[in-house]
Structure 1
Amino acid sequence: MIRKLILAGAILAAMAAPALADPIEGAWKTKAGDNAMISPCGGSFCIKLTSGEYSGQSIGKMKADGGNKYSGSITKPSNGKTYKGSATLSGSSLKMTGCVLAVLCESQTWKKL
């Protein structure tokens, strides 16, 4: 009987515990001053602008590589071109990089809101 109560309590505690979110998830302030939301989507993380001139536009998709590093694609909203992208999370800063031919790269740092 006691074993059943302990098991039932453990199951209830597991169900009540909030799911652990990946640290990249959430709202971010871009270098341009716009807000972006990073949320899970199909085993990756989708990036969507939520304010500014390009609000509502999806601008990237990243997958976790481990060690607070991410890789995928990033779209520059001003020209609509998509580049090979990467991101590195360090505390409340996210360094986003987009590259053409792995030689010509542009980076910017976003801040967690």
Structure 2
Amino acid sequence: MKCLILKVFAMICFAGMAAADPLEGDWRTIPDDNGNSGLIRIAPCGAALCGTLVAAFDGSGTQIDSDDLGRQIITETVAQGGGSYRGKIYSPDRGRTYNSRLQLQGNQLAVSGCAFGICRNGGTWQRQN
């Protein structure tokens, strides 16, 4: 009986210690149409992953204010296997949400998306942490 109680206790203790998804963390975007880039923090949100704009930078790399700070740029994103993810991605410079395709390879994240047959290559983002 003691053994069973210890097993149940261990399961409860370790349930919250599940391994983080490899996509989680901070990612620096490439410059957008305006020459600005951002720092996107990807973390769990419900059963999916979401990415929030936590900092914005001008073309020279100086941090700037942005109306989009705190906005979820990546939403509804789920792993497909092999470092591939699908979900939604918002493009602040175009004010449009795309169906996203993300491909994780080490510390690089290839980003692209399509909406109504119009596709956009979001370039390769770099891991920052």
TM-score (norm 1): 0.81
Correspondence for 1:46: 50
Task: Return the alpha-carbon distance in structure 2 between the equivalents of residues 104 and 39 of structure 1.
Answer: 25
The structure 1 residue matched to 2:6, chosen from 3, 8, 16, is: 8
- Give the alignment of 1:51-62 within 5 angstroms: 51-52=55-56, 53=66, 54-61=68-75, 62=77
- Helix, strand or coil at the partner of 1:15: helix
Amino acid at match of 2:69: S
- Helix, strand or coil at the partner of 2:13: helix
Deviation at 1:105, TM superposition (A): 2.7
> Identity across aligned pairs (percent)?
31
Deviation at 1:56, TM superposition (A): 1.1
Q: Which runs of 5+ in 2 are unaligned?
A: 32-36, 57-65
Correspondence for 1:100: 115
1:112 lines up with 2:127 in the alignment: yes
- Deviation per CA, 1:30-83: give whole Å up to 9, x if none: 113421101111211011100112321111211111111000111101232111
Q: Which runs of 5+ in 1 are unaligned?
A: none
Relative to structure 1, the CA distance from residue 66 to residue 55 in structure 2 (aligned partners, 3 Å threshold; closer, same or farther) is same
Amino acid at match of 1:60: I
Amino acid at match of 2:72: S
Task: Return the alpha-carbon distance in structure 2 between the equivalents of residues 68 and 14 of structure 1.
Answer: 29
**Residue correspondences, number:** 111
Relative to structure 1, the CA distance from residue 12 to residue 82 in structure 2 (aligned partners, 3 Å threshold; closer, same or farther) is same
Contact 2:111 2:122 in 1 (8 A): yes
1:28 lines up with 2:27 in the alignment: yes
Task: Return the alpha-carbon distance in structure 2 between the equivalents of residues 64 and 8 of structure 1.
Answer: 33
